[in-house]
Structure 1
Amino acid sequence: MTIGYVTIGAHDVDAALPFFDAVLGALDWERSQPFPGWAFYGPKGGEPCLGICKPYDGEAPRAGNGIMVALKARDQAQVKAVHAAAIDAGGSDEGGPGYRPAEATSGFYAAYFRDPVGNKFCAFIAE
Structure 2
Amino acid sequence: MIGYVTVGVSNMDKAKAFYSELLADLGAKVLMDMGRIAFIGSTMDAPMLSVCIPYDENDPSPGNGNMIAINPGSKEKVDALYLKAIALGASSEGEPGQRVPDVFYGAYIRDPDGNKIAFYEFG
Equivalent position SS for 1:33: strand
Contact 2:2–2:47 (Cα < 8 Å) also in 1:
no
Q: Deviations over 1:75-111 (max 9, x none)?
A: 111101110111001100011111104xx2x221111
Judge which range, 2-11 or 61-70, deviates more.
2-11
Distance (Å, rounded) in 1 between the aligned partners of 2:14 and 2:42: 22
Structure 2, unmatched stretches of 5+, are: none
Once the two structures are TM-superposed, the CA of residue 45 in structure 1 deviates from its matched residue by 7.5
The residue number in structure 1 matching 2:54 is: 55
| Residue type at the aligned position of 1:94 | E
Q: Distance in 2 between matches of 1:27 and 1:124?
A: 14
Instruction: Provide the C-alpha distance between the structure 1 equivalents of 2:2 and 2:47, rounded to a whole number of angstroms.
Output: 12
Q: Contact 2:31/2:43 (CA < 8 Å) preserved in 1?
A: no
Corresponding residue number in structure 2 for 1:114: 110
Partner of 1:82: 81
Query: Which has the higher mean CA deviation after the structures are superposed, 67-76 or 41-50?
Result: 41-50
CA distance in 2, matches of 1:39, 1:48: 13
**8 Å Cα contact 1:18-1:89 kept in structure 2:** no
In structure 1, list runs of 5 or more residues that go unmatched: none
AA partner of residue 120 (structure 2): F
Q: Is the 8 Å Cα contact of residues 114 and 121 (structure 1) preserved in structure 2?
A: yes
**Alpha carbons 1:83, 1:97 under 8 Å: kept:** yes
Give the conservation status (yes or no) of the 8 Å contact 1:70–1:121.
Answer: yes
* Structure 1 residue identity aligned to 2:117: F
Under a length normalisation based on structure 2, what TM-score does the superposition of the two structures give? 0.89
Task: Indicate the RMSD between aligned Cα atoms, in angstroms.
Answer: 1.7
Aligned sequence identity (%):
38
Question: Is 1:19 equivalent to 2:56 in the alignment?
Answer: no
Could you say if the C-alpha distance between residues 33 and 76 of structure 1 is closer, same or farther in structure 2, counting changes exceeding 3 Å? Answer: same
Partner of 1:9 in structure 2? 8
Calculate the TM-score normalised by the size of structure 1: 0.87
Matched with 2:122 is 126
CA distance in 2 between partners of 1:51 and 1:95 (Å): 24
Number of residue pairs matched by the alignment:
123
